[in-house]
Amino acid sequence: MGRCSLCGKESELISSVLSLCLDCIRKDFKKVKNIILSVHYDVRKRFNLPDKAGDVGGLVCNLCANNCRIPEGGRGYCGLRKNTNGRLVGPDKKANLDFYFDSLPTNCVASWVCPAKTDCGYPVFSYTKGPEYGYKNLAVFYNGCSFNCLFCQNWQYHLRLNRKENLVDSSFLANQVDELTSCICYFGGDPSCQIIHSLKTSYLALQNKKNRILRVCWETNGSMNPTLLDKVIDIALESGGSVKFDLKAHSEEVHFALCGVSGLATKNNFARAARRFKERKEPPLVIASTLLVPGYIDEFEIKGIASFIASLDSDIPYALLGFGPCFCMNDLPFISKRFAFCMHQIAISEGLKNVTIENTHILSEDG
């Protein structure tokens, strides 16, 4: 049971760590902004990460929307890029990541429109008309992120940020692709902070594929430099892959409270990618998803996100993801089936034609 430090309201839908209710975040943001900043500062301090993005004098890193100004000897918000002797250094050719193989079909955010699980894109971009049994996905998990989500489902990456050994070379990673690898998926953390490495790996892997099918996908918060996003879209388009944007919230106030940074760049990048959606009918080039964080992602947020997507292209697939208590928001409850279904109906009512609910196995019966 959490308590709002501004209005005093108590509810199981108030995170004890954030200590703010949704109404106060949206209606009294100026009053609670310093509380939010303090919460994110404390979380980042646990992992020895810089507490601010973009406003410290120094060299400018423009890989992501934070546009950090990194002082001599300092690090960017992601914790990966550094100012060393007046030069920006970071994981480009060699990256801080973990990789493994998943048998297909796997638990993909886009599974209901994925060539590895459906006949979408067959035969140009898939080996089989239906699930690609016998094939595998090269899953590439980038440690580091441009956001500071209090609900992060993969928060353990923080513990690997200071890794100095066992960084993975792009050519080595590309060479892991064999005749049974039909797709690569970059996720994390987030690929945005090491996007150059993912691009290099993709170019090499596609050069080496020898007329085999090899889809290349990204799952991302969408905060990368827009010019680099264009290159990501080019690769996904050519290979039969997709770019899956995680749209965290509709209102800027809620996005900032949950993620510690602005969400405007993500919206702008999503709109930029959506303009190219019609360039390939199947499989879908751009996909959106939202995690249903209880108490914070409500009808207003889903209606706003769905309306935004529909205004760009109503055919863009949209996934609503069931929430599991995790990281700093481990005291929040699971989302109920009834609530998830209501959000599904709202998204459809805003004009979206292809909406699904994922992670249904963790939805609760109550609520």
Are the C-beta atoms of 177 and 136 separated by less than 8 Å? no
Nearest CA to 236 out of 266, 211, 206, 270 is that of 206
| Gap between the Cα atoms of 4 and 85, Å rounded | 45
Spell out the domain ranges in the chain.
1-46, 53-86, 94-362
| Gap between the Cα atoms of 97 and 161, Å rounded | 9
Residue 54 pLDDT: 62
Residue 268: strand pairing partners: none
| Gap between the Cα atoms of 130 and 181, Å rounded | 16
What does the block give as tokens for 34? 């310093």
| Gap between the Cα atoms of 137 and 180, Å rounded | 9
Residue 56 pLDDT: 61
Alpha helices in the chain (DSSP H): 22-27, 29-46, 170-174, 195-208, 226-239, 252-259, 264-274, 299-312, 337-349
Mean pLDDT per 10-residue section of the chain, whose length is 367 residues: 96 97 98 97 95 76 93 92 91 90 91 94 95 97 97 94 87 97 97 96 95 97 97 98 98 98 97 98 96 98 98 98 96 96 98 96 83
Residue 367 pLDDT: 52
Sole residue written with tokens 């709202």:
346
Nearest CA to 329 out of 18, 70, 57 is that of 18
CA 169 to chain centre: 23
- CATH code for the part of the protein at 94-362: 3.20.20.70
